[in-house]
Amino acid sequence: MFGLRNKPVRYLLQAFNYSVFMALIWYFATEPSIRILADDEAMITIAFAHAGDLREPCRKLSNEELQELAPNMRKPEECPRERSPVSIEVLLDEQRIYRETFEPPGLFQDGSIDVYYRGKMPAGEHHIEVKMDDSVRKKGFNHSIEKNISIDPAHILLIEFDSVKGFSIK
Amino acid sequence: MGWNVDSDYIRGIFPVLVNPVKRAYLALESWFNISFGTEWNPLYHLGTLSFFLFWVILVSGLYLFIPFHGSLSGAYESVEYITHDQWYAAGIMRSLHRYASDAVVITVLLHMFKEFASGRYRGFRWFSWVTGVPNLWAIIALGITGYWLVWDELAQYVAIGSARLMDALPFIPATMTRNFVAGEMTDRFFILIEFLHLLGQPLILFFMLWIHVKRLSNVNINPPRGLAAGTFIALLALSLFKPAVSQAPANLSTMPQTLQIDWFYLNVYPLLDYWPEGYTWVLTISITSLIMILPWIPPKKEGPVAVVDLDHCNGCGLCFDDCPFDAITIQARSDGKKFEKEVVVSPELCGSCGICAGSCPSSNPFRSSKTELKTGIDMPQLTVDELRNKTNEAIAAMDGEVKILVYGCEHGLNVKRLERNDTKGLRLICSGMIPPTLVEYALKQGADGVMVIGCRQNDCFYRFGNRWTKKRFAGERNPILRGRADRDRIRQHGGSETDKNAIERDLVKFRAELLELNQADEVSSEQLG
């Protein structure tokens, strides 16, 4: 009951159906393309891991306290595990573009935080300022960097932090 | 009646939507039937076609593995070599690998849609549905890692997007995204992705596919050769006409301004530019969960399952051979009768199709014509005895030169719509439940012709109703239609609700042929007389 008996027409129609199927694949395998950045846009990325300062300072143990401990447990200092939250702020041409406070992870709030942020920014010359407060024992931002930068369209401005070298902007 | 499945469609969700959608789908099927016929119609082989595409992906992938360099510095260069320097072999393989992967998303989505629109996802079929939906996730995940390996700008986009999605999950402790800032990415991570794509994910996918078809009997994973050849030629033509190419090499210091993405696999990623990662997860998980619980919204009213009557079962096993859902098992005789075996029905697996009743040699209407017809395995909602009585009533009610009795399954065309004075319709659960001897019986009782209409050929609601009936009538599968039955007076068809006109046209032809046969019979009996 179904199906054409004329073989050439039948195969021709099959070819047409296969062509439609393949055209569908061809088109959606690449199109429509997506626009990620405008012609005059660049990106800013902040990416680093950092452990905040200890909430309480380490305390030196007295001789009496040390004697009470087993010989293999006698460390001269006792340090609390809990760390400070870390606040980060980024200003681009004096406009705040990012601000976030991270609580230290872990059961004892003693882990290091992972920072990852990415956002769009206009390409060209800018003044950038990055500040971080990682200690409840010190007032205000205790790490910062300021820099005049020039960034090309489609490039990524990368902000990193190293506990020894401090902030870097690449 | 309780087992009227048409009313099940209406009770299903989106009652207004499903039927028009189903009708549109049936129209597309009809269009393909014109050029492909029912044997090669791709819409009847979406599952097997997907398996075939997997083989294409697997073989081309194995070939590509040879020249591919699995390192951060070498991956892009090696893919460029594959694409341009060896375009005639590895380049074509790359294109086949990619386009077959795209095609499989289409066939799997159509497969899901078809099963949904046909109501073949509920009741006893919940297992296949629930185990099938995650396969799409597994396929998409496999495609994503594949795009990663090219290590071009698209790979960079996919890698960062994937890492952001992973970081949004509460059980992932460290930040994966930081791996993708300039200078941080290492070969180690790249090799992990390569391992996943080449071994881990394919193994998981094949295991999931095995689970998916586990509750089916006589599983076929190969499409008809003509369809496989046609699909392969089409993919090859596309590969030659529009070879798959890479985009610019990945550069973690820059971000591409525009990007051509594969929408079959990467459609979620552009959402990340507008939504937080968590929302994207909630959206995709919600859609998947909703699709997975569809079989229970609302719960399907199941028909009674097949019942074995050991007094009439000799344990021949024909019903065991014919059951499409592995719901029948054979065990040692438990009632002390002289036979060795008996059959047992698993209620949770039984689809209530009645194919077993049609296969039972005891379902012979010539037996015990004066008393109730008992058979070895029967359907409580429509027993073979009831079927015989209805056959007698329908023949008695017909009037005209040519009397045609039309048996039709509940899932194809409603044969009641074909009725007129000389034509009566009887609805079955499945065309496969008709014992061949009942056709012979109907002819003997006064019907001039018998037409059996199932679902569209190769698209049986219960998988094998059409096929087994065709084979039984052709004498190729037990119980066979006996040689004495006049084949010229028997027609078998497949057709859905939208095929009424085509079937009616054939019915007119059949009527004319039967009239000629009747006249010829009259002449020969006069000559003999």
Q: Are residues B369 and B283 in the same domain?
A: no
User: Is the distance from CB of B448 to CB of B441 less than 8 angstroms?
Assistant: no
Q: At what angle do helices B277-292 and B153-167 cross, to 10 degrees?
A: 80
pLDDT at B4 over 60: no
Residues B333 and B340: their CA atoms lie apart, in Å, by 6
Phi, psi of B25 (to 5 degrees): -65, -40
Spell out the SS3 assignment of B1-51: CCCCHHHHHHHCCCHHHHHHHHHHHHHHHHHHHHHHHHHHCHHHCHHHHHH
Taking an 8 Å cut-off on Cβ atoms, the answer to whether B237 and A22 are in contact is yes
User: Is the distance from CB of B227 to CB of B221 less than 8 angstroms?
Assistant: no
Contacts of residue A1 in chain B, CB cutoff 8 Å?
493-495, 499, 502-503, 506
Task: Look up residue B15 and give its amino acid.
Answer: P
ipTM of the complex: 0.81
pLDDT at B200 over 50: yes
Contacts of residue B99 in chain A, CB cutoff 8 Å?
22, 25-26, 29
Taking an 8 Å cut-off on Cβ atoms, the answer to whether B257 and A14 are in contact is no
Taking an 8 Å cut-off on Cβ atoms, the answer to whether B38 and A37 are in contact is no
Residues B234 and B227: their CA atoms lie apart, in Å, by 10
Contacts of residue B36 in chain A, CB cutoff 8 Å?
3, 14, 17
For chain B, say whether A44 makes contact (Cβ under 8 Å): no
Strand order in B490-494's β-sheet?
A: B423-428, B404-409, B449-454, B490-494
Rg of chain B in Å (alpha carbons): 29
Cα B193 to the chain's mean position, in Å?
33
For chain B, say whether A16 makes contact (Cβ under 8 Å): yes
Assign residue B147 the CATH number of its domain: 1.20.810.10
List, in order, residues 6 or more apart from A81 with CB less than 8 Å away.
A54, A108, A109, A110
In a domain, A92, yes or no: yes
Task: Look up residue B174 and give its amino acid.
Answer: A
- Scanning every residue of chain A, which has its alpha carbon at the shortest distance from the alpha carbon of B491? A1
In a domain, A75, yes or no: no
pLDDT tens sequence across B120-143: 888 888 899 999 999 999 999 999
- Scanning every residue of chain B, which has its alpha carbon at the shortest distance from the alpha carbon of A14? B35
List, in order, residues 6 or more apart from B343 with CB less than 8 Å away.
B308, B313, B315, B317, B319, B320, B328, B329, B330, B331, B376, B377
Q: Are residues B193 and B52 in the same domain?
A: yes
Q: Are residues B152 and B272 in the same domain?
A: yes
In a domain, A11, yes or no: no
Q: Are residues B81 and B226 in the same domain?
A: yes
A73: phi > 0 → left, psi -120 to 50 → alpha, else beta; which?
A: alpha
What pLDDT is stored for residue B174 in this prediction?
66
Spell out the SS3 assignment of A27-87: HHCCCCCEECCCCCEEEEEEEEEECCCECCCCEECCHHHHHHCCHHHCCCEECCCCECCEE
List, in order, residues 6 or more apart from B351 with CB less than 8 Å away.
B123, B124, B125, B324, B325, B327, B462
Contacts of residue A18 in chain B, CB cutoff 8 Å?
230-231, 233-234
pLDDT tens sequence across B210-261: 999 888 888 888 899 999 999 999 999 999 999 999 999 988 888 888 999 9
What pLDDT is stored for residue B6 in this prediction?
38
In a domain, B352, yes or no: no
Average pLDDT over residues B388-415: 92
User: Is the distance from CB of B342 to CB of B310 less than 8 angstroms?
Assistant: yes
What DSSP character marks residue A106?
A: S
Contacts of residue A42 in chain B, CB cutoff 8 Å?
255
Cα of A16 to nearest chain B Cα, Å: 9
What pLDDT is stored for residue B56 in this prediction?
96
Cα B481 to the chain's mean position, in Å?
28
Predicted TM-score of the model (pTM): 0.82
For chain B, say whether A43 makes contact (Cβ under 8 Å): yes
For chain A, say whether B264 makes contact (Cβ under 8 Å): yes
Burial class (CB in 10 A: 0-12, 13-18, 19+), B85: exposed
Phi, psi of B317 (to 5 degrees): 90, 5
Taking an 8 Å cut-off on Cβ atoms, the answer to whether B181 and A160 are in contact is yes
Residues B412 and B161: their CA atoms lie apart, in Å, by 47
Tally the domains of chain A.
Answer: 1
In three-state secondary structure terms, B329 is: strand
Taking an 8 Å cut-off on Cβ atoms, the answer to whether A17 and B32 are in contact is yes
Assign residue A96 the CATH number of its domain: 2.60.40
Q: Are residues B273 and B419 in the same domain?
A: no
Tokens 């194919």 -> residue: B355
Q: Are residues B121 and B223 in the same domain?
A: yes
Tell me which of B303 and B225 has the higher pLDDT.
B225
Q: Are residues B277 and B373 in the same domain?
A: no
Pick the last residue of a domain from B292, B324, B349. Answer: B292
Average pLDDT over residues A132-144: 86
User: Is the distance from CB of A104 to CB of A124 less than 8 angstroms?
Assistant: no
Contacts of residue A170 in chain B, CB cutoff 8 Å?
182
Residues B101 and B138: their CA atoms lie apart, in Å, by 12
Which of 95-114 (B) contact A at CB < 8 A?
98-99, 102-103, 106
CA distance readout (Å), A70 to A58, A66, A75, A77, B414: 20, 8, 10, 15, 90
User: Is the distance from CB of A52 to CB of A104 less than 8 angstroms?
Assistant: yes
What pLDDT is stored for residue A140 in this prediction?
84
pLDDT-based confidence at B19, cuts 50/70/90?
Answer: low
Taking an 8 Å cut-off on Cβ atoms, the answer to whether B35 and A1 are in contact is no
Average pLDDT over residues B34-56: 91
Cα of A57 to nearest chain B Cα, Å: 27
Residues B126 and B468: their CA atoms lie apart, in Å, by 24
What pLDDT is stored for residue A4 in this prediction?
64
What pLDDT is stored for residue A121 in this prediction?
92
Taking an 8 Å cut-off on Cβ atoms, the answer to whether A3 and B33 are in contact is yes
Average pLDDT over residues A48-73: 87
For chain A, say whether B242 makes contact (Cβ under 8 Å): yes
Residues A159 and A46: their CA atoms lie apart, in Å, by 5
For chain A, say whether B177 makes contact (Cβ under 8 Å): yes
Q: Are residues B198 and B283 in the same domain?
A: yes
What pLDDT is stored for residue A41 in this prediction?
93
Highest mean pLDDT among A49-63, B431-445, B512-526: B431-445
Question: What is the pLDDT of chain A when averaged over all its residues?
Answer: 88
- Scanning every residue of chain A, which has its alpha carbon at the shortest distance from the alpha carbon of B238? A22
Pick the last residue of a domain from B292, B324, B347. Answer: B292
In a domain, B333, yes or no: no
In a domain, A120, yes or no: yes
Tell me which of B475 and A7 has the higher pLDDT.
B475
For chain A, say whether B165 makes contact (Cβ under 8 Å): no
pLDDT tens sequence across A77-117: 888 889 889 999 999 998 999 998 988 888 888 888 888 88
pLDDT at B435 over 90: yes
For chain B, say whether A33 makes contact (Cβ under 8 Å): yes
For chain B, say whether A137 makes contact (Cβ under 8 Å): no
In a domain, B245, yes or no: yes
Phi, psi of B406 (to 5 degrees): -115, 115
In a domain, B342, yes or no: no
Q: What domain range is A144 assigned to?
A: 41-55+83-169
Pairing of strands A34-35, B258-259: antiparallel
Contacts of residue B157 in chain A, CB cutoff 8 Å?
36
Tally the domains of chain B.
Answer: 2
Residues B205 and B174: their CA atoms lie apart, in Å, by 27
Average pLDDT over residues B293-319: 89
Cα of A62 to nearest chain B Cα, Å: 38
Q: Are residues B143 and B255 in the same domain?
A: yes
In a domain, B311, yes or no: no
What pLDDT is stored for residue B182 in this prediction?
63
Taking an 8 Å cut-off on Cβ atoms, the answer to whether B178 and A16 are in contact is no
pLDDT tens sequence across B49-85: 999 999 999 999 999 999 998 888 888 999 999 999 9
For chain A, say whether B526 makes contact (Cβ under 8 Å): no
Contacts of residue A10 in chain B, CB cutoff 8 Å?
35, 37
Q: Are residues B280 and B370 in the same domain?
A: no
Q: Tokens representing B407?
A: 């048996």
Residues B333 and B198: their CA atoms lie apart, in Å, by 50
Which of 423-462 (B) contact A at CB < 8 A?
456-457
CA distance readout (Å), A164 to A57, A84, A131, A143, A160: 19, 18, 16, 11, 12
Which of 489-508 (B) contact A at CB < 8 A?
493-495, 499, 502-503, 506
Burial class (CB in 10 A: 0-12, 13-18, 19+), A91: middle
pLDDT-based confidence at B496, cuts 50/70/90?
Answer: confident
Pick the last residue of a domain from B262, B292, B322. Answer: B292
For chain B, say whether A142 makes contact (Cβ under 8 Å): no
Residues A93 and A153: their CA atoms lie apart, in Å, by 17
What pLDDT is stored for residue B120 in this prediction?
86
In a domain, A34, yes or no: no
Asked which of A43-47, B244-248, B369-373, B407-411 is least confident by mean pLDDT, the reply is B369-373
Taking an 8 Å cut-off on Cβ atoms, the answer to whether A47 and B177 are in contact is yes
What pLDDT is stored for residue B183 in this prediction?
66
Angle at alpha carbon of residue B124, lines to B121 and B129, rounded to 5°: 35
Task: Identify the H or E element spanning A118.
Answer: strand A113-122
In a domain, B273, yes or no: yes
Q: What domain range is B522 assigned to?
A: 364-528
Q: Are residues B279 and B386 in the same domain?
A: no
For chain B, say whether A120 makes contact (Cβ under 8 Å): no
Phi, psi of A77 (to 5 degrees): -125, 150
In a domain, B65, yes or no: yes
Q: What share of chain A is helix, strand, coil (3-state, %, to 5)?
A: 20, 45, 40
In three-state secondary structure terms, A25 is: helix
Residues B40 and B225: their CA atoms lie apart, in Å, by 8
Q: Are residues B105 and B198 in the same domain?
A: yes
Residues B32 and A13: their CA atoms lie apart, in Å, by 9
